[in-house]
Structure 1
């Protein structure tokens, strides 16, 4: 190639590179969440008292329960939970896919080295040469075996004149962000699920304690009735009723113990532990701890940035918008620069001589003329997918808003109900004391004692269940607010590192 031709070729490349600055398709604009600015319950509504607290939600929200065991379990979720680890691997997958998409922005270079030895057929196409060489050449003449040596390179580069490749990379970037937000969503859900299972475990253990306490009371009452019968002050009917009440409470305990075991196993599963692995850690029965009545909610309009599912829906909309640009770019010509440089020789001693050099270089332009409607249908598909992603984003935001309001109302009303149930339990306890005293003095029937004891048991059980519900509503509120923004995650697998598979998981899969 002479200098002038090379200069012209560079000028063409430069002109094409200048065109590469344009990008077809719509640019992504962050959607408006339409969330309120002041109160989740609306500016004209009557918000709950805790909605007025301006402070943002604490990322480690489980500290409001002041339970060191719960805190210790929550700290282990990010590393141990299998859903979070799966989401971490998916994040790595999206990053690798992004690398595949970004590779189209760069030239591809390949080496091509080969050696062939070929014997031509005497009766093949070379036999036609005998007619050209004359009768003296004889028929069926073919050269002997030939050796051919070749060493070279070929390169190709698609000039992204219209931004089709850049839109593909933009879509891949959005999908990486979506995978990261989905991982965070998995963590938030796992943290909330662990707290729910833990609080329900403590609630069941509280119910077991209530049953045992009432069983002790009923045994005392049974002993009292038996003593009165021995002194001829009572008939056998009261003894049988008292004994039936004792057995009724005893029958409740195994069912509660079964629930206790199930919740311990559920917590073990969340932390990638076999069944019963946390029994020694969680077997000590304690009561449920409720959080404070006033919960910091932060600014409602910032919920769209705190909730990972909203952020993931926004990322999905971004990727769908960028894919429209990819579809639009397919309508434009594709310009690809191709080049091949190599050395070809029948004698390896002369392979790298200047006379063995051969090359080919030049642009290739591909313009779609007819594709049977494929390009238009693809564009229409991408536009429909963008509309679907926009609707999904809107629904996700609206669902998040509903989640917060429902949790706020449920928590506030359950607090009021719990206070009433506490008063009911206090009155039921006082009534049982009076009924026992009157029965012991012989001025009241045993049926009154039995009814009072049943009322007390029911009131204490309802109060314990309400205490658990208050705490569960609080967990739901923190989850609705997008709480649990951890900074520590499992390591994302690199391109050169294999993803470790736990041996126990493999064993379980084989079995």
Structure 2
């Protein structure tokens, strides 16, 4: 329950009222400062455990250009412009900023104008006219900082929306790059399968000739058929994966499925990751990630709402006034005798509300605690994602080196086996074994190359690459 006590001030005392209003407005903020209750910063390691940090980290805003693949760069650029998730996040940012501007305008004085004309008649008496025109003004001095805290919450929400847009951009760029790398990996594996199928078909033909000449058994022929058909069976699965990757890229870039078949349907090399990789320190990474900035701003907004809830428990003040003209005829409307003036000062304070305001403050305190826990959890997740990506990079690099050596040896063995089989020096089982080993080794190399490139993409995403913080989110708080 709030009680409001109006105080009428004669127009002749307008100077005193104005001084009083300025003095009340100057009692700027008796509200508590949210930063005073800021928690201790999250402890971060001095450097990454899986790699040595560099004092000169690479630029991450457009990390996809480091793959030196113009097609990949074009796809990411188009996705950042046309993807529906980006457009939705941009609309949410515009909404948050408009709400912030509306709250800022509500904290200042409001002025309105009105005009009216009235004609009344009672029975057979002559009718009466009345004309009125005037201005109304009102202002609520923010003595205890509740309005300012509400504005702070709106500003923090706008910065959180800007960071959320950055998070969408980071995730989208990584998703496009991962889908493109998967597409090129599948196309490379399809080429490997087709080359091995052609070699196995040649071996199958040689085996048929040897069977007809009585130099090989029917068992050798059946084994050659089995090996050839098994390789042939891999091709439809790879083609299906290629089609699905093309559809995924089309959707991410805001196009209908099948739109990229003509431009990306032809095979191309897997994007090679850059050789150099300079990492920022963990603390710098946390400042770069947009999801952490969004969580931080959500915490700031929750603290500001807590301050507003606490200020609502104190008295509120309001100043209003009007200046108008009222006359029976239009001709006398501008006469000095028709001027109406009023000035009203009021104060209201809660006396009894059953504990509602206290409960609202407690609810906002719980929201602050929840936002703080979310921020800490997001920070820990960020550290884990970077460490996991670095571990995957190190393991896949070593695995690729071993697989490349194995593939080279398998190619030499397969060539020797076919030459010796044609000369009748070895049996057919040895040829089959070497061909299977070659196909498996080359397929593993292509898969690991795609995985290694995808590891770089995941690392860039974990480091917060793919967006540029604007002025709203980059300013220190």
The match for 1:40 is 48
**How far 1:33 moved relative to its partner?**
4.4
1:464 lines up with 2:470 in the alignment: no
Q: Deviations over 1:360-394 (max 9, x none)?
A: 21211111112222211111111111111111110
**Contact in 2 for aligned 1:164/1:326 (Cα 8 Å):** yes
**Contact in 2 for aligned 1:94/1:172 (Cα 8 Å):** yes
The match for 1:282 is 264
Change (3 A) 1:265 1:397: same
The match for 1:374 is 356
Change (3 A) 1:412 1:33: farther
The match for 2:120 is 118
Question: Which shifted more, 167-176 or 5-14?
Answer: 5-14
Inter-partner Cα distance in structure 2 for 1:15 and 1:291: 64
Change (3 A) 1:224 1:259: same
Within a 5 Å distance, the mapping from 1:63-78 to structure 2 comes to 63-78=65-80
**How far 1:24 moved relative to its partner?**
0.6
1:242 lines up with 2:224 in the alignment: yes
The match for 1:58 is 59
1:5 lines up with 2:13 in the alignment: yes
1:309 lines up with 2:291 in the alignment: yes
Q: TM-score, normalised by structure 2?
A: 0.91
Q: Deviations over 1:336-364 (max 9, x none)?
A: 11112222233333233222222221211
- Count residues in correspondence: 461
- Bigger CA radius of gyration: 1
**Contact in 2 for aligned 1:25/1:326 (Cα 8 Å):** no
Q: Deviations over 1:391-410 (max 9, x none)?
A: 11101111000000000001
Within a 5 Å distance, the mapping from 1:39-438 to structure 2 comes to 39-41=47-49, 47-48=50-51, 51-59=52-60, 60-120=62-122, 143-438=125-420
Aligned-CA RMSD value: 2.2
**Contact in 2 for aligned 1:343/1:352 (Cα 8 Å):** yes
Inter-partner Cα distance in structure 1 for 2:138 and 2:447: 70
1:159 alignment partner, SS class: coil
**How far 1:177 moved relative to its partner?**
0.9
The match for 1:26 is 33
2:35 alignment partner, SS class: coil
Question: Which shifted more, 367-376 or 399-408?
Answer: 367-376
**Contact in 1 for aligned 2:115/2:134 (Cα 8 Å):** yes
**Contact in 2 for aligned 1:77/1:187 (Cα 8 Å):** no
**Contact in 1 for aligned 2:400/2:445 (Cα 8 Å):** yes
Inter-partner Cα distance in structure 2 for 1:113 and 1:225: 104
**Contact in 1 for aligned 2:11/2:343 (Cα 8 Å):** no
**How far 1:31 moved relative to its partner?**
5.5
> Residue 461 of structure 2: which of 453, 456, 479 is its match?
479
**How far 1:17 moved relative to its partner?**
2.5
Inter-partner Cα distance in structure 1 for 2:229 and 2:73: 38
**Contact in 2 for aligned 1:35/1:300 (Cα 8 Å):** no
**How far 1:274 moved relative to its partner?**
1.7
Question: Which shifted more, 22-31 or 423-432?
Answer: 22-31
Question: Which shifted more, 350-359 or 468-477?
Answer: 350-359
Inter-partner Cα distance in structure 2 for 1:365 and 1:315: 34
**How far 1:174 moved relative to its partner?**
0.9
Inter-partner Cα distance in structure 2 for 1:25 and 1:8: 30
**How far 1:2 moved relative to its partner?**
7.4
**How far 1:144 moved relative to its partner?**
4.3
Q: Deviations over 1:428-487 (max 9, x none)?
A: 223323332332233432222222212221221122111111111111011100112348
Inter-partner Cα distance in structure 2 for 1:472 and 1:429: 27
2:324 alignment partner, SS class: strand
The match for 1:129 is none
